[in-house]
Amino acid sequence: MTHPLSKINRLNHKSYLFFNLIGLTITSLALNAIFSLPLPKELESAGHFQFLTNLSLIFTIITILSNIITVIYPNSLILGLNIYLNAITIILETLVALIYWILRIFFIYLIIPKGVKPENFIPLYIDMSIHLFPITFLSIDYYLIKFKNFNINSKIVFGLVIGLTSSYWILLESLIKPPASYPYPFLNVDTKERVIIFVIVGVFGFLFYQISNNLHKPIQSLIYGKQVEEKTKNN
């Protein structure tokens, strides 16, 4: 009997399960490693959940788990939820990767507190596993393995972006109490300026979804050629 995932993924269900187990192992180890590291004094009181990177990594782990569940128990409800989880997580991890690496390379003082010396930076292997591996894994899954794009209504995506942005704002306000600092130096500004930053990030999140949704078919056509059109017709 043909597995339901054969209409969704290029990999057979056993290979897709193995692919996700690798992803789950790496992201779980990364989460454990980053939560084990001590925080600078000005960030200690708010804990590790104040970092968008850590929250996005948790979303990635949940998404990978949902991928695994689709292999084991592929009903329509789980498959539908899986699409939303993948869409949300790829938005989050795209934001994390772009913001982090651009600032890390060109404006490191905007993401690293002043008192943190280079020798106290997080180890490179952890850095790569939380800031680069998640978006790489999700992109391979979405652009190279899945036959179809997310195709979620833009109004729903807009609502999800507002919800996620607002939730992160509320979380930070509940965790950070004076004299503690915000997790990233670029957020240590007046409330009005911080609101603007959140709005800009939210807008980019929405745009990243639109870009990823529209890039899916061209990328697959470039890599797989006529197979994309034939599979689309068959589905």
Q: Encode pLDDT of 80-126 as tens digits.
A: 999 999 999 999 999 999 999 999 999 988 988 777 777 778 899 99
User: Of 107, 114, 97, 130, whose CA–CA distance to 30 is shortest?
Assistant: 130
How does DSSP classify residue 188? Answer: -
Rounded to two decimals, what is the model's pTM? 0.92
Terminal Cα distance for the chain, rounded: 17
What three-state secondary structure class fits 176? coil
Using a pLDDT cut of 70, give the percent of the chain over it. Answer: 94
pLDDT for 177: 86
- Separation CA 149–CA 151 (nearest Å): 6
Q: How confident is the model at residue 233 (pLDDT cuts 50, 70, 90)?
A: low
- The first and second tokens of residue 175, run together, are 């965790």
Summarize pLDDT for 142-183 with one digit per residue, the tens.
999 999 999 999 999 999 999 999 999 999 999 998 878 899
Residue 208 in this model has a pLDDT that exceeds 80: yes
